[in-house]
Chain A
Amino acid sequence: MLYVLLANLPVAISTFLYALSYKQIKGPAKWLAWFVFLTSGVQLLSGLLANLGTPNLFVLHFYVPIGGGLLIFFYREVLMGYIKDAVFFGAVGILLTGSLINTLFWQPLAAFNSIGLSVECVVIVILALGTFIISVNHEFYKKHQAFITHLNWINSGLFLYFSGNLLLFYFGHELLWALSINVKTWIIHGILSTTMHIAFWIGEWRRPKNMHFSSR
């Protein structure tokens, strides 16, 4: 019950918030809104399939490359003009190819795609850490001063969620050696997800409403 609440309620609130402000959003937050909508859709579909008693792990095989791609484009928009586009398209390429190869040769659709998730986590953690370092640069700060708080909250949420997930999915087995490993893993995942969505809410709340993020 706790997991269901942790997993679904924050996503539902984020979806509601971003749906409300979708028309006013421009720039990177638009990609984030799409990520939230996608997450919401995936949660809904997974829940429905689980209720019907149908395996739902295959959904993750699609969610990981698409969600990761949306987040990469979020970072592309934030760092546009500072980092070459080729870096982001390269990251999307790595994520898509990695996920496809993983699904075809290592972890089929019916299996939990921990490798794909790990690749996604590594890519997003690199981008999040890079963004933290870049955002303290004087020139970047001066240009995006009004959006720094908004960006920092979202970036922090993404960093905590994906770095936590990386540890959880890859080393969960060793770290949670006690009983009910699976349940604990998903509860921790739920906590991480909630943390990320709370950061999204605050980030959206702190987004300057009468200004648009301009990366040019």
Chain B
Amino acid sequence: MEEAQEYAFFESLMPLVGLVLIIAIGVVLLVLQFQKTLLQQRSERHRLELQHREALLQQSIAAQEKERQRIATDLHDELGALLSMSLMQLKHYHSEQPLQVEKWAHRFPSIEQHLERALGATRRIAHELKPPYLEEMGIAHALENLLNHAAQTGAITIEMQSLHNCAPLAAVAQLSLYRIVSELLNNTLKHAEAQKVRCYAHQDAAWLIFQYADDGKGLTIAPTKYGLGIQSMKSRAEAMGGTFEIQNGLSSGILAKIKLPLNNP
């Protein structure tokens, strides 16, 4: 009799086990849902932060470019014009009244040389600040011009392939690409002791892949210790929604890969 009662009591506990199980599953699902939402909220916050940082970077680059253009225009239009006028006047004065300035005559060629150099330097600085040909003739010509200039120094030979593939880039991305290649070339000339530079551009779906390689010393520092130059190139590419990667080449030198979104309609 007692055994039967115990059995009946045990049987009556079975639904309790079921209910406790239902409650436990319910609580676990609720907490899982909470954790999932938290993760989503965190990743959304992270995405917004990145978006904000990217927007700030773009604004900063745009402001930098605007300022560069302003300085270039001021240099070219104001200082350049003044120097040109001074040089013309000096030449005119020299040719018109050679006798009256006899005692200064031996100095004219030197003054003229200084003025011509100052004018040349002004033009060069203005061109560097505002890439020549980029607006008028497009990125492919501007890059060719930049690379040819480097080749003319005789210190290096340049191999270029399919640069016309860069043409569909948006204007702001073209400028970024120009600046990145310019910085890479500058590093090669200054530090790499390279003999040869190779540039190759191709399109891959909605992306432009630009590869830059030299046969110099390569990178001698760890990626965590990259300097401002490499950081700036990376930031420029990322601000355009692209990427910038740099590593040592297989045998020598560096291999940089710039990936930028194409300006598709």
Contact = CB atoms under 8 A, between A and B. Distances in A.
B81 interface: no
Interface in A164-178: 166-167, 170-171, 173-174
Interface string A99-139: 00000000000000000001000110111011001100101
A100 B34 CA distance: 30
Contacts of B37: 81-84
A82 B22 contact: no
B265 interface: no
Contact of B38 (A118, A130, A139, A173): A139
Interface in B13-70: 13, 15-16, 19, 22-23, 26-27, 30-31, 33-34, 37-38, 41
A84 B33 contact: yes
Nearest to A166: B19
Q: Mostly helix, strand, loop or mixed at chain B's interface?
A: helix
Contacts of A202: none
B9 interface: yes
A129 B25 CA distance: 11
A130 B30 contact: yes
A79 interface: yes
A137 B30 contact: no
Interface residues on A, range: 20 to 34
A165 to B, nearest CB: 12
Interface of B: 9, 12-13, 15-16, 19, 22-23, 26-27, 30-31, 33-34, 37-38, 41
Given A122-B19, A122-B26, 14 more contacts: A79-B34, A83-B30, A83-B37, A126-B27, A129-B27, A130-B26, A130-B34, A134-B30, A134-B34, A137-B38, A167-B16, A170-B19, A171-B16, A174-B12
Nearest 3 A/B pairs, CB to CB: A126-B26, A130-B30, A129-B27
Interface of A: 79, 81-84, 87, 118, 122-123, 125-127, 129-130, 133-134, 137, 139, 166-167, 170-171, 173-174
